[in-house]
């Protein structure tokens, strides 16, 4: 294989692998406990085992995959206890971000937050779950950025990505959209008011509620490595 990397985009191959495999874990294509075979992955992405191994190493450091020495890698399987701990941490982290936002956001950041938030009200009325989910992600990212603290941002993003597999199903719950919007509203209002304490508390509560909604999906479902037989869809 001396030719250019065919379908995978630019950047280093390993980086692409990390994103590709990580995405599939985060989006639930690869389920916790599923075996990650090096040769299969290498064949699937049309690269050699070396970049695959390096990618798995990085994903392991990120906590998304678990590596047993000499026994291969599996998608990280989290215990109920650890899951609770992660949600709890997420609540605290988002609380901190919201508090910092209330104290530090620039005028334009506040305006953008308010504008986007108000725009999303329409999605709630329409019941556009897909679109609202996209907005929701953007809303939270805005909160992380608005904290003006690169490290908090890193920690929050990391925790969020590790929680992603367990948060997907939450919007199926009836009335979730409206409730989510109201919670967002409380956060936005407090931030615009410059009330860090209230913003922090509101953000913490927001995550806590999501946590409860997601907890049910945590344990119980641990499919065997059935879906690996059919490699995931083309990138």
Write out the residues near a copy of itself by the rule CB under 8 A.
11-12, 14-15, 50, 53-54, 57-58, 60-63, 69, 81-82, 85-86, 88-89, 92, 96, 149-152, 154-155, 159
Which residues from 52-71 bind DNA, rule CB under 7 A? 53-54, 67, 69-71
Residue closer to DNA by CB (options 50, 182) is 50
Secondary structure string (H, E, C) spanning the chain: CCCCCCCCCCCCHHHHHHHHHHHHHHCCCCCCCCEECHHHHHHHHCCCHHHHHHHHHHHHHHCCEEECCCCCEEECCCCHHHHHHHHHHHHHHHHHHHHHHHHHCCHHHHHHHHHHHHHHHHHHHHCCHHHHHHHHHHHHHHHHHHCCCHHHHHHHHHHHHHHHHHHHHHHHCCCHHHHHHHHHHHHHHHHHHCCHHHHHHHHHHHHHHHHHHHHCCCCCCCCCCCCCCCCCCCC
Q: Is 89 in the site for DNA (CB under 7 A)?
A: no
Q: Is 76 in the site for DNA (CB under 7 A)?
A: no
Residue closer to a copy of itself by CB (options 35, 82) is 82
Residue closer to a copy of itself by CB (options 86, 202) is 86
Q: Is 32 in the site for DNA (CB under 7 A)?
A: no
Residue closer to a copy of itself by CB (options 81, 221) is 81
Q: Is 47 in the site for DNA (CB under 7 A)?
A: yes
């Amino acid at each position: 294989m001396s030719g250019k990397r065919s379908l995978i985009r630019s950047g280093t191959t390993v980086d692409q692998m990390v994103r590709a495999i990580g995405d599939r874990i985060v989006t639930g294509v690869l389920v916790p406990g599923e075996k990650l075979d090096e040769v299969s992955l290498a064949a699937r992405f049309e690269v050699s085992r070396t970049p695959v191994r390096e990618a798995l190493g990085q994903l392991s450091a990120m906590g998304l995959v678990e590596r047993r020495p000499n026994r291969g890698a599996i998608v990280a399987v989290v215990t109920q206890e650890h899951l609770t701990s992660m949600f709890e941490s997420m609540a605290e982290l988002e609380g901190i971000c919201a508090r910092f936002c209330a104290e530090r956001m620039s005028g334009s950041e506040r305006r953008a937050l308010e504008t986007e938030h108000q725009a999303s009200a329409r999605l709630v009325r329409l019941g556009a779950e897909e679109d609202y989910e996209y907005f929701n992600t953007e809303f939270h990212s805005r909160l992380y950025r608005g904290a003006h603290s690169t490290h908090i941002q890193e920690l929050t993003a990391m925790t969020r990505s590790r929680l992603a597999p367990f948060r997907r199903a939450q919007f199926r719950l009836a009335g979730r959209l409206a409730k989510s919007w109201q919670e967002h509203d409380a956060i936005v209002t407090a931030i615009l008011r410059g009330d860090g304490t209230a913003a922090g508390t509101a953000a913490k509560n927001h995550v806590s509620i999501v946590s409860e909604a997601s907890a049910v999906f945590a344990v119980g479902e641990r499919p065997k490595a059935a879906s690996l037989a059919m490699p995931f869809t083309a990138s």
